[in-house]
């Protein structure tokens, strides 16, 4: 049993992205605040690394001059019967504490400078989504006025934003189902949702995501860019609309599949069987509920068809109407 319609997450990425894909947006703009914060982090790492070897380097350094001087100084405030070794150890501890305090103060100053930078010098970065340099080079010349330099390389208006704008105009800030090819999960749908939610403040962008499997022809993905296509108008010249719909629907929607003429012929046989089952006067009382349960289970149309063809009657007639297979 597959998972039901997956839900988009608020102000984040769709929850059904495959685990082997990077779920990160483009890296942040390298601005002044980032530089200061990274410098502070590096300095802190240096301090930690230094104190990691405290027993060797710092002890050897302070045990000679600083610890001895500190020990003689604090010896004036202690009883005279205390051993020099004890006083030297106390001096070493005080010297190390002083050094740590000075380094801590330095880190605090660096952090303060980073946070005090003018806001105008800090660029918003997490929602800057531009077409990749490689894709840009392949579709637009360097003289194209729609192209401009960005922190990530040459950029141009992205199709992610176009889809966000179209969805917002015609469907509103949030809607029920967003469909598309499984290959569009990331980055297209992820960016589309992230931009829309950032712009409107409404989450989720889409309540459910419906990603359909890739359709192949002769083992290659159907694509307009390669001309590897089969047009519906050509199919309708040698077949009917219900047969074509049966071909498209009689499979789990997220599963990749190959178009073949044999598959189209099998869809016609399958449709004839469904129509014959719908012509039977009656069927089991549980068949209608079973067909509905199959459809609710992540649109399991193949199972619904199997039940309807086997049991017939009203269950088959209901499925013919729901799938528009008259």
Residues 205 and 220 in one domain: no
CA 164/CA 287 separation, integer angstroms: 41
| 9 domain residue, yes or no | no
Domain count, the chain: 3
**Residue 181 main-chain phi, psi, to 5 deg:** -70, 150
Residue 275 half-sphere exposure, CB side, CA atoms within 13 Å?
12
**Residue 81 main-chain phi, psi, to 5 deg:** -85, 0
pLDDT tens-digit profile of 92-126?
665 566 556 666 666 666 556 555 544 433 333 33
304 or 2: which leads in pLDDT: 304
Question: What is the pTM for the complete model shown?
Answer: 0.54
Label residue 156 by pLDDT band (50, 70, 90): low
Residues 318 and 305 in one domain: yes
| 85 domain residue, yes or no | yes
Residue 2 has a CB neighbour count (10 Å cut-off) of 11
Residues 153 and 223 in one domain: no
Q: Is 89 exposed, middle or buried (0-12, 13-18, 19+ CB in 10 A)?
A: middle
**Tell me, what's the pLDDT at 305?**
98
Pairing of strands 153-155, 206-212: unpaired
Residues 185 and 226 in one domain: no
Q: How many helices (H) and strands (E) does the chain have?
A: 13, 7
Which of 67, 87, 121 is a domain's end point?
121
Residue 68 is part of which domain span?
A: 32-121
Which of 212, 227, 255 is a domain's end point?
212
| 270 domain residue, yes or no | yes
Tokens (6 digits) for 192: 């589309």
Residues 223 and 296 in one domain: yes
Give the CATH number of the domain where residue 292 resides: 1.20.120
Residues 283 and 264 in one domain: yes
Residues 193 and 244 in one domain: no
Residues 193 and 245 in one domain: no
Residues 260 and 249 in one domain: yes
What is the percent of the chain where pLDDT is above 70? Answer: 54
| 22 domain residue, yes or no | no
CA 37/CA 44 separation, integer angstroms: 11
Pairing of strands 206-212, 215-217: unpaired
Which of 121, 145, 166 is a domain's end point?
121
């Amino acid at each position: 049993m597959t998972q039901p319609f997956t839900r988009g997450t608020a102000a984040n990425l769709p929850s059904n992205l495959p685990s082997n894909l990077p779920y990160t947006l483009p890296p942040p703009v390298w601005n002044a605040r980032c530089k200061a914060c990274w410098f502070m982090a590096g300095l802190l790492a240096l301090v930690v690394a230094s104190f990691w070897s405290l027993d060797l380097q710092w002890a050897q350094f302070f045990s000679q001059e600083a610890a001895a001087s500190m020990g003689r100084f604090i010896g004036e405030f202690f009883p005279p019967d205390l051993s020099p070794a004890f006083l030297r150890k106390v001096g070493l501890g005080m010297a190390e504490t002083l050094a740590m305090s000075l380094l801590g103060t330095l880190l605090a100053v660096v952090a303060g400078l980073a946070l005090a930078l003018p806001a105008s010098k800090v660029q918003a970065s997490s929602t800057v989504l531009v077409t990749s340099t490689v894709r840009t080079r392949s579709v637009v010349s360097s003289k194209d006025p729609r192209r401009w330099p960005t922190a990530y390389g040459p950029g141009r208006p992205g199709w992610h934003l176009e889809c966000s704008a179209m969805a917002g105009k015609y469907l509103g800030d949030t809607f029920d189902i967003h469909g598309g090819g499984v290959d569009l999960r990331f980055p297209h749908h992820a960016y589309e949702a992230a931009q829309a939610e950032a712009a409107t403040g409404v989450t989720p962008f889409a309540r459910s995501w419906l990603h359909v499997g890739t359709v192949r022809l002769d083992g290659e993905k159907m694509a307009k860019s390669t001309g590897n296509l089969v047009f519906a108008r050509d199919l309708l010249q040698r077949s009917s609309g219900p047969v074509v719909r049966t071909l498209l629907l009689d499979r789990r929607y997220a599963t990749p599949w190959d178009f073949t003429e044999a598959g189209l012929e099998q869809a016609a046989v399958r449709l004839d069987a469904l129509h014959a089952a719908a012509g039977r006067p009656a069927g089991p009382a549980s068949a209608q509920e079973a067909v509905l349960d199959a459809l609710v289970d992540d649109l399991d149309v193949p199972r619904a068809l199997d039940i309807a063809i086997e049991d017939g009657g009203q269950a088959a007639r209901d499925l013919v109407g729901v799938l528009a297979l008259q």
